[in-house]
Amino acid sequence: MVAHRSLPSISPRSREGYTGVLRWKKVFPLRFGCRFIQQNVMRRLLSRVPAYWLFQIGGWTAILLANILFLIGLERLQVLDVERMTLGALLGLFFSHLMRAFIIRFRLREMSIKSLIPSFLLLTLVVSVLGGITEEALRGLLDLHFPSDSRIPFMGHALRRIFNAFPTFFIWNLIYYLYHVIEMTRRRDMDRLRLQHQVKELELRTLKSHINPHFIFNALNGIRSLIEDHPLQAREAVTMMSRILRSSLQLNKAKTVPLERELEVVTDYLSLERMRFEDRLQTHFDIQPETLGLPVPPMMLQTLVENGIKHGISHRKEGGRIEVCSRIDGEWHEIVVRNTGLFAKRNKGTGFGIQSTTNRLAILFGNHARFEIGDAEGSMVEARVLIPMDPQP
């Protein structure tokens, strides 16, 4: 026979406690969910309330609480004091909003400092007078006077209200004006930065649009010289040129490209030029593998190589040599293009290759990048580009 273990008996009180626990486990997620929904609703409602009203209500509430705490500290707080201070805070909220509407309606924020100061003081005085007289009148209508106040006439109380209201409205006006000055300055800075960015984008696109026609013009001249004597090489050169143009169009869509992609275009370009120069063109690459992924302006390296061939090697019957080097030098990515020839100092800065390289580096990296060109040892011209490893354009 199988022995059956009897279940422990549960007393009525324990059963009620167990049922309560189950009920709490069911109700707790519901309560937590309701609280979460309420918090989200409040957060959304507050996000829709303009910042002006949040500051208005918060500021005048803070003044009211500060006055109440002050009287509590002096042990002089009475119910009538709370009623009078609440009335003053509500009127302060109303008249400060009325003052803001006047400032916006008559565009006082757009005035010069010389015109603004007297208008600012006059408006504060007028609002203080209106607010002081209104508060004293409402105190009489609502019977918010202490018995000892009956000995002082109406205008005496009103002048006291005006005297107390003027510094408060003056500070309110000052904060309101300073806030808008800071906000306008911030917006102008943002607009200026946005405009500078748009100008840089436009300049960069303009430079890119000039690079391809300049390259095409030089490449077509090279292919033309091959058509009569070497038609097969001319056909192969056209195919290679189309591949270069396809790559350049893809690269020019980006602000910067990895050096490895740029080297592919340079290699194709040199292969194209080698058909024209044959043995008169020698090339050498010295590239650190760590630099292959570093960003460079698209078509910049190709422009420098093309510039060296056009202005250096093409003018020499015996041809010359092109060297391309890339290495990391401390915090800089150093790119060097050397070509056989002499640098004509009188034409410094006037060639397209030099101008486009200088301008594009300035647009992309500001003053953080460097470009130098000049004569080097061994009858060579050296173009050196230094790009920071951590560019901050």
Band the pLDDT of 113: cuts 50, 70, 90.
confident
* 3 state DSSP class of 385: strand
Question: Which residue from 177, 178, 127, 134 is spatially nearest to 157, judged by alpha carbons?
Answer: 134
Superfamily of domain 228-388: Histidine kinase-like ATPase, C-terminal domain (3.30.565.10)
Quick check: 209 pLDDT over 60?
A: no
Distance, CA of 38 to CA of 13 (rounded, Å): 36
**What is the per-residue pLDDT for 20?**
53
Distance, CA of 171 to CA of 181 (rounded, Å): 15
- Average pLDDT for residues 1-6, to the nearest whole number? 45
DSSP characters over 266-301: HHHHHHHHHHHHGGGEEEEEEE-GGGTTSEE-TTHH
Strands 320-329 and 281-287: parallel
**What is the per-residue pLDDT for 346?**
41
Percent above pLDDT 70 for the chain: 77
Q: How far apart are the first and last CA of the chain?
A: 88
Residue type, 186: R
Who has greater pLDDT, 292 or 252?
A: 292
- Average pLDDT for residues 86-115, to the nearest whole number? 90
Who has greater pLDDT, 240 or 279?
A: 279
Percent above pLDDT 90 for the chain: 36
> What are the percentages of helix, strand and coil residues in the chain, rounded to 5?
70, 10, 15
CA distances 343 to 109, 237, 276, 306, Å, are 59, 29, 23, 15
Quick check: 297 pLDDT over 60?
A: yes
Band the pLDDT of 364: cuts 50, 70, 90.
confident
Contacts with 208 (C-beta within 8 Å, 6 or more apart), sequence order: 252, 298, 299
62-94 pLDDT per residue, tens: 999 999 999 999 888 899 999 999 999 999 999
**What is the per-residue pLDDT for 349?**
47
Contact between 97 and 57 (Cβ < 8 Å): no
For the chain, what are the domain ranges? 48-192, 228-388
Band the pLDDT of 378: cuts 50, 70, 90.
confident
233-256 pLDDT per residue, tens: 788 878 877 877 776 666 556 778
Quick check: 262 pLDDT over 60?
A: yes
Who has greater pLDDT, 237 or 135?
A: 135
Residue reference for tokens 């002006």: 52
Residue reference for tokens 């189950």: 22
- Average pLDDT for residues 336-352, to the nearest whole number? 72
